[in-house]
């Protein structure tokens, strides 16, 4: 390899590392993924209209996710995730997430509006305070702490090591079985 080629390789490595370190490369990759999904989504819509064929991308959500999205708590979960992505300004991720889940662009906004009106929560609060998902999580954790203080929460026996338990598989009771629904939100 001659000096020029070596210098160009070093420059390429330096630029790549700098762009990666500054987050620019990750943003470009996310934008590219979002653009690819948007292009496929547009093509799917054209094919669906003109040829009546089922879309390749839209509707490709797996059965487990479809089942979850059909339930009220699944729609709420998905809406909370979308609101978090929007709050965190992860717009490219949101653009990929929605079509991959076979969901309409702004479905989550109406879902959250309904949730907030049922629970007396102000969606117009200052967005700098955090996403609604964080509020729900903090409310649940406060509820759990209060329940443990009263001795009503499930506890793992002290003789059992948590490292020996697959914590991913421990299921909490559904929100509908907890004192009439979701615990109070963490912040209002």
CB crowding 89-124: b at 16 or more within 10 Å, else e: eeebbbbbbbbbbebeeebbeebbeebbeeeebeee
Looking at the fold, whether 32 and 46 belong to one and the same domain comes out as yes
Looking at the fold, whether 87 and 2 belong to one and the same domain comes out as no
Of 57, 72, 90, which residue is a domain's last? Answer: 57
> Is residue 173 situated within a structural domain?
no
Looking at the fold, whether 88 and 112 belong to one and the same domain comes out as yes
Residues 101 and 51: their CA atoms lie apart, in Å, by 23
pLDDT value for 78: 92
Half-sphere exposure of 93 (CA within 13 A, CB side): 12
Please count the other Cβ atoms lying within 10 Å of the Cβ belonging to residue 75: 19
Q: Tell me, what DSSP letter sits at residue 103?
A: -
> Is residue 177 situated within a structural domain?
no
Q: Tell me, what DSSP letter sits at residue 108?
A: H
pLDDT value for 82: 94
Measure the CA dihedral 80/69/40/82, to 10°. Answer: 0
> Is residue 158 situated within a structural domain?
yes
pLDDT value for 177: 40
pLDDT value for 86: 93
Looking at the fold, whether 65 and 29 belong to one and the same domain comes out as no
pLDDT in tens, 3-41: 988 998 999 999 989 988 888 888 888 888 878 877 877
pLDDT value for 89: 92
Give mean pLDDT in consecutive 10-residue pieces for the chain, a chain of 188 residues. 88 89 85 80 74 58 81 91 93 84 84 86 69 88 83 47 38 42 53
> Is residue 174 situated within a structural domain?
no
User: In terms of residue numbers, what domain contains 119?
Assistant: 59-167
Looking at the fold, whether 115 and 46 belong to one and the same domain comes out as no
Looking at the fold, whether 91 and 148 belong to one and the same domain comes out as yes
The total number of structural domains that make up the chain: 2
Residues 97 and 76: their CA atoms lie apart, in Å, by 15
Looking at the fold, whether 40 and 116 belong to one and the same domain comes out as no
Looking at the fold, whether 33 and 126 belong to one and the same domain comes out as no
Q: What distance, in Å, lies between the first and last C-alpha atoms of the chain?
A: 64
Looking at the fold, whether 71 and 127 belong to one and the same domain comes out as yes
CA 64: distance to chain centroid? 16
**What's the CATH code of the domain at 145?**
1.20.960.40
As given in the structure block, the two tokens for residue 113 are: 């509006």
Looking at the fold, whether 19 and 82 belong to one and the same domain comes out as no
Looking at the fold, whether 85 and 23 belong to one and the same domain comes out as no
């Amino acid at each position: 390899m001659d000096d020029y080629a070596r210098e160009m390789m070093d420059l390429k490595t330096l630029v790549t590392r700098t762009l990666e370190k500054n987050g620019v490369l990750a943003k470009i990759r996310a934008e590219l993924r979002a653009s690819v999904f948007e292009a496929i989504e547009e093509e799917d819509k054209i094919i669906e209209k003109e040829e009546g064929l089922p879309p390749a991308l839209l509707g490709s959500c797996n059965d487990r996710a479809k089942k979850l999205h059909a339930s009220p708590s699944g729609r709420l979960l998905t809406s909370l995730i979308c609101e978090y992505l929007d709050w965190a300004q992860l717009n490219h991720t949101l653009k990929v997430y929605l079509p991959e889940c076979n969901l309409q662009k702004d479905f989550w906004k109406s879902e959250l509006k309904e949730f907030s009106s049922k629970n007396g929560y102000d969606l117009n609060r200052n967005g700098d305070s955090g996403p609604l998902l964080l509020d729900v999580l903090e409310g649940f954790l406060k509820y759990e702490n209060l329940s443990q203080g009263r001795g009503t929460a499930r506890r793992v026996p002290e003789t059992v090591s948590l490292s020996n338990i697959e914590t991913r598989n421990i299921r909490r009771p559904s929100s509908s079985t907890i004192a009439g629904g979701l615990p109070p939100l963490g912040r209002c």
